Each structure stands twice: as structure tokens, then as C-alpha cells.
Structure 1
Amino acid sequence: MKPLSDTYVEETRFGFWFLRSHTWQHHVLRVAINDLRGLFSEPPPSAPVILDAGCGQGKSFQYLQATFAPKRLIGLDADPLSLELSREEARRQGFDVELIGSDCAELDVPDASVDLLFCHQTFHHLVQQDRALAEFYRVLKPGGYLLFAESTEAYIDTWVIRWLFRHPMHVQKSAAQYLEMIRDQGFEFAAQNVSYPYLWWSRATDFGLLERFGLRSAKPVGQREETLVNVVARKPLQGPSQ
């Protein structure tokens, strides 16, 4: 099926299979959503409208439902086959999910209509990242939250990831560059709203095997090149004063 975006970078067969795997669901999605929930400085909105931007095959739906109890859940993706699988996943889980076929750079979602926008491992697939972030800001309500979880260039630009998956390499960024980009768009966050997970699957060279066998000690934050960054960033209640 033809993608719904001219800039869509089609995933490899392995990548498409991996996004259906237990490892992806249990060790990546579940862990990321739990971590993001802990980064809120105050309780998240009750019964929120959630937009999952880049919902893929819908494996996040069960975790978003369990964690945030949304009154409305919207899944968006530019890949028609992924949307079909998301529909099947929602039906299997018994969830009422609205699905939209769209590029993240042109969201078919009204202004200021979303409480929580979940963007997990999607941004490094996007070519028009600035436009997508502007769209995220537009559709969030004042006081709404961007839940952003992303792999950085240090991880994406490794031989094993480049061999197994397909990404637009010219747009990859460091953790600091992603955070700067989010802040420049107008979102607000503090140090306590950011985390740098150092999970086994995100180790750029050996998937943490040397540390697991006691052959090397894990470097602390500030002494390593981060491979993951999570942030809960808030759209201000009021825009900048004129």
C-alpha cells in the first residue's frame, strides 16, 4: 500500500516484524510509558484526549489506556498497513480508538484539542521534524503535554541499526539537540521532566553485554553519549506577552 506521506521512509521487513514483537511491547513501549508517567511534575489531566502520533501497529494502546485512562484515544500513522493492524489491535483489546491516516507534519486534528500527545520512537523517522513539532504544539491545548521518547543519533547511526532498520540519516539528532528543538518551539520543561534511559537494547555497541558480564562499568549521565531521551514538555497556559 502506498504511504500517506511523500516523505515517509518505509521500514524494513525486519523492522516491521520487530514492531509486533514481545521485546518491543514489553521492553520498549511499556518501559517508556512508565518512565514518562514518572516525569510529570504534577498529576496529568484526568480523562484526557490522547493523540498517539506515529501509533504504528497499535501496541501502545493498552499501555496508554492503563496509565492515563483517556476518554478519547486517537492513533495517527502514515502507513496504511500499520493503521489496519492498529484497528485490529484496538478491536482485539476492546478499545475505542479513532484512527487517522496522516503525516505528522500535517495533522488532520483541530487546534487546541488534545491534552496529551504521545510521540514514541517516531521522530527519528520524520524528515520534516520542525513542521511536525509545530503541529504538535498547535493541536495541544494550553497546558497540554508532549510526551516525547526518542532514540538519538548516537544509537540510530550504528552499523547494526543501519543494517536492520531504515531511517532518514540526515535528520538524526543528539539528546541535547532534541531538547533544544522542543524548547525552541515554545514548550516548557525542567530537568526533573527529562530522563536519559540507558537500557540494554539501547547500548550502541554491544547491547550492554560487557556490563552484564562485569567486563565494563556503566558510565553515568554526563560521561556518556546518550542514546535515549524522554521528556514531558508542557505547552504554556498562555502565549508570550505582546
Structure 2
Amino acid sequence: MNYASPTYVEETRIGFHFLRSHTWQHHVLRVAINDLQRMVGRPLPLGGTLLDVGCGQGKSFRLLHDAFEPTRMLGLDADPHSLLLSSAEAEREELKVELLTADCADIPLPDHSVDIVFCHQTFHHLVEQERALAQFWRVLKPGGWLLFAESTKAYIDTWVIRWFFRHPMHVQKTAEEYLDMLRQQGFEFGPQNVSFPYLWWSRSKDFGLLERWGLRAAPPPGQREETLVNAAVRKPA
């Protein structure tokens, strides 16, 4: 396969199929988009151009369209096979989506051409993270939003994820390290724009079973190693 990124880390067969599943679309994507939408606040940035970086197989398209009603939607991915499935997904949902086979570290769009960049569970797959974040900043219009949702090193570096999926382990970061990257790039955000979901599927050892069975109390924020971080951050106007 000829990937658009020279540093692309190919997903496992199990991982590839999981990313087209009902579980992925409704228990991961939908939950994250609802959370990000809440953190953006009112009024929502409706209309304009929305870019889904690392769009994969297009399972986000309908959810993003309904949440933000973009007048132009673009999906970018380095994997041509995923984009074929994205095209089929857009057609099935009767959505017009422009697809770009490209590297997140080299986005083929003009400066200040995008109103929203959606980056969901993509960043931990990227080797050139600083370059990619700089590209998100470049293509965003002043006042534009980056909707950022990530798994952290605490989750990616577990036996379950290592066994079933494939990632560049040397670039994995903590929640605070990801937030520091966003700050250093220049994005603005406050506590109301950040959340640390502690969802069952992200629990590093037992998927939260002991807590659901009443055998252990869930650790409160500040007393646990965060497995997920969501942030709705803005490029200054």
C-alpha cells in the first residue's frame, strides 16, 4: 500500500475492522463529538468549512454534519484504502465530502481556509506531531476551532492495546503533555474547554469491571492517570 505519509504506522487487521464497527461509531465517536460540542458552548460555529483529519473510514461524517452543519466538509487520511471506504460512507449517508489523500504534517489546503479542524483519536498515530499541529494552526482561520480528542500514553501503553493495535510508541504523551502542546502552538482554552473522560473502554486494566461490580470505587480526577483528554481549543481571532 502506498501511504501518503512516509512515517505512517499501518493498523492491524483487527484494528482496521474495529474502526468500522457500531461500537466505534456510537460508543467512541458519538460520545466524543457530543462532549466537544458541549465544550465549544453557544453559539455553536455552524456552517463554514470543516476538516476531519485522520477521517479513516468516514464514520464521523454524519455525526459531524448533524452537529455543526458545515457548508463544506473535507476528510483527510494517509491511507488510500480507508478513503475508499470513506467515499462509500459519504455516498451511503448522502453527504458531499471532499476527500484528500495526504499527510497531516503536510495538508494541501491554503492558509486560513478552514473553520473547524476535527482531530479524533488521530494524533497518537502521528509521528510528526509538532508538524501536524502547526498545519492545523496554519489552515485554521483566525477564530477557528480545533476539536481535539485523544487517548493518552496511559491507555495506549497497555497490554490490550499493544496486543490488538499498532502505534508509534515513542511519541505517546500524557493528557497534560498534549494540552501543553496546544498551548505552545498558541491555541486558547480554559478549564471549561477541557474534559478528561473516564469511559469504561479506556480503563487500563479491567475496563472498569471492578467498579461496576461495586468492588472498588472509581478514583476521582486528580488521583488517577488520565486515559483520555478532550479539548475544544481556539485560534485567536
TM range (shorter): over 0.9
Q: Structure 1 length as normaliser, TM-score?
A: 0.97
Q: Which residue of 1 aligns with 2:228?
A: 228
TM-superposed CA distance for 1:42, in Å, is 3.7
TM-superposed CA distance for 1:212, in Å, is 1.0
Q: Which residue of 1 aligns with 2:113?
A: 113
Amino acid at match of 1:89: E
**Alignment partners' CA distance in 1, 2:103 and 2:132:** 8
| Cα deviation digits, residues 54-82 of structure 1 (max 9, x gap) | 00000000100111111010000000000
Residues 197 and 230 in structure 1, CA contact (< 8 A), matched pair in contact too: yes
Amino acid at match of 2:153: E
Q: Which residue of 2 aligns with 1:55?
A: 55
Q: Which residue of 2 aligns with 1:30?
A: 30
Residues 147 and 232 in structure 1, CA contact (< 8 A), matched pair in contact too: yes
TM-superposed CA distance for 1:193, in Å, is 0.3
Question: Unaligned 5+ residue runs, structure 2?
Answer: none
> What does residue range 12-31 of structure 1 map to in structure 2 within 5 Å?
12-31=12-31
Amino acid at match of 1:48: G
TM-superposed CA distance for 1:136, in Å, is 0.2
Q: Which residue of 2 aligns with 1:142?
A: 142
**Alignment partners' CA distance in 2, 1:109 and 1:44:** 24
Amino acid at match of 1:87: S
TM-superposed CA distance for 1:40, in Å, is 1.3
Q: Which residue of 2 aligns with 1:240?
A: none
**Alignment partners' CA distance in 1, 2:194 and 2:129:** 20
Q: Which residue of 1 aligns with 2:82?
A: 82
Q: Which residue of 1 aligns with 2:164?
A: 164
Secondary structure of the corresponding residue to residue 75 of structure 2: strand
Q: How many residues align?
A: 237
**Alignment partners' CA distance in 2, 1:215 and 1:50:** 44
Amino acid at match of 1:52: D
Amino acid at match of 1:211: E
**Alignment partners' CA distance in 1, 2:207 and 2:213:** 12
Amino acid at match of 1:127: V
Runs of 4 or more, structure 1, over 4 Å off, are none
Q: Which residue of 2 aligns with 1:67?
A: 67
TM-superposed CA distance for 1:44, in Å, is 2.6
TM-superposed CA distance for 1:41, in Å, is 4.0
Give the fraction of aligned pairs with identical amino acids, expressed as a percent. 69
Secondary structure of the corresponding residue to residue 39 of structure 2: coil
Q: Which residue of 2 aligns with 1:11?
A: 11
| Cα deviation digits, residues 11-68 of structure 1 (max 9, x gap) | 0000000001111001000000000000014423221210000000000001001111
Q: Which residue of 2 aligns with 1:102?
A: 102
Q: Which residue of 1 aligns with 2:127?
A: 127
RMSD, aligned α-carbons: 0.7
Amino acid at match of 1:184: Q
Residues 211 and 218 in structure 1, CA contact (< 8 A), matched pair in contact too: yes
Matched, 1:209 2:204: no
| Cα deviation digits, residues 104-149 of structure 1 (max 9, x gap) | 0000111001011000000000000000000000000000000000
Secondary structure of the corresponding residue to residue 115 of structure 1: strand
Question: Unaligned 5+ residue runs, structure 1?
Answer: 238-242
Q: Structure 2 length as normaliser, TM-score?
A: 0.99
**Alignment partners' CA distance in 2, 1:219 and 1:12:** 32
Matched, 1:197 2:197: yes
Secondary structure of the corresponding residue to residue 95 of structure 1: coil
Secondary structure of the corresponding residue to residue 160 of structure 1: helix
Amino acid at match of 1:222: G
**Alignment partners' CA distance in 2, 1:172 and 1:38:** 26
